[in-house]
Structure 1
Amino acid sequence: MSEAKKGDKVKVHYTGKLNDGSVFDSSVEREPLEFELGAGMMIAGFDKAVHGMKIGDKKTAEIPSKEAYGERNDDMIVSVPKAQLPPDLSPSVGQQLSMQQPSGQAIPVVVTSIDEENIEIDANHPLAGKDLTFEIELVEIV
């Protein structure tokens, strides 16, 4: 039986957990996740964990934040004057918004605080700075 290697399209079932054991995502009740191994489609640690698995193999992979969504970056937290917001927008703390970069790409941000003149938004990935644990099962090499 062959092992999953770079360039293979694979299908996996996974459950992602935080250090406290809480589940943040799982494919178990859905279709398996399909991706190309080594193509940069997945976080580096997940990709590395699947490499070498055989169909039917199950493993638990502990992925440090630097191989997951990276460390939190304080430069990704910015204050925006309320005057620059669309007039119909009424932001609240915890609300997810979409911000357009100069390149035209939209990135998700979360409102972290609001005062009279400004709102503070955080563009870090919600899982940035967190070590992750994935339970992975290789279902198929396509």
Structure 2
Amino acid sequence: MSHDLITHGSKVTLHFSIILADGSAADSTKVHGKPAQFNIGDGSMTDTFEACLLGLKAGDSEKFTLPPEQAFGQPNPDNIYYLERNRFAADAPAEVGSIIAFAQPDGSELPGIIREVSGDSVTVDFNHPLCGQTVTFDVEIIAVEN
């Protein structure tokens, strides 16, 4: 097992859990048994998240808490849309709290959370579900390749 330290450009394989202020887990790679993998500096994680990993090595476990600005950001009012109810399919009705993936022009899908259903209008929030929240990352480094 290599003992490479995480530096800029390292390929990192890790398990992580995202823990909310109330102690509940919002997400965890351990649930699915599939660790995450990314390269430091490739833009898939925030700079602050990456900075917290620098200097760690395989086998290390670490916890760090990030404010919203350094985690998933603050909610952006421009990411809230009002759609007509008839745009929702019978198999995916508009129900408050449900998350529906909307197809984008480029073919990708963007998940939106339904916040309100009023008459024929449906309020859909495309902000990340963890926007505005202080979160704790509990990471376990599995492998580091430099």
TM-score w.r.t. structure 2 length? 0.83
Q: Tell me the alpha carbon deviations over residues 21-54 of structure 1, each in whole angstroms, 9 at most, x when there is no partner.
A: 1111223351332211111122333222111212
Instruction: Count residues with an aligned counterpart.
Output: 141
CA distance change for structure 1 residues 67 and 81 in 2, over 3 Å: closer, same or farther? same
Unaligned runs of 5+ in 2: none
Whether 1:131 aligns to 2:137 is: no
Aligned to 2:48, what secondary structure does the other structure show?
helix
CA distance change for structure 1 residues 137 and 87 in 2, over 3 Å: closer, same or farther? closer
C-alpha contact (below 8 Å) 2:102/2:112 kept by paired residues: yes
How many angstroms does 1:125 deviate by? 0.6
Whether 1:79 aligns to 2:111 is: no
Correspondences of 1:1-80 after superposition (within 5 Å) = 1-29=3-31, 30-80=33-83
2:121 maps to what in 1?
118
Whole-Å Cα distance in 2 between the matches of residues 87 and 2 of structure 1? 51
Q: Tell me the alpha carbon deviations over residues 60-97 of structure 1, each in whole angstroms, 9 at most, x when there is no partner.
A: 111121121110112211211224x1564531111211
Whole-Å Cα distance in 1 between the matches of residues 88 and 134 of structure 2? 36
Whether 1:91 aligns to 2:94 is: yes
CA distance change for structure 1 residues 27 and 87 in 2, over 3 Å: closer, same or farther? closer
Whole-Å Cα distance in 2 between the matches of residues 12 and 104 of structure 1? 29
The alignment's C-alpha RMSD in Å is 2.0
CA distance change for structure 1 residues 27 and 116 in 2, over 3 Å: closer, same or farther? closer
TM-score w.r.t. structure 1 length? 0.85
Unaligned runs of 5+ in 1: none
C-alpha contact (below 8 Å) 1:44/1:68 kept by paired residues: no
CA distance change for structure 1 residues 77 and 55 in 2, over 3 Å: closer, same or farther? same
Specify the code of the residue in structure 2 equivalent to 1:90.
P
Taking every aligned residue pair, what percent have the same amino acid on both sides?
A: 29
Whole-Å Cα distance in 2 between the matches of residues 87 and 139 of structure 1? 42
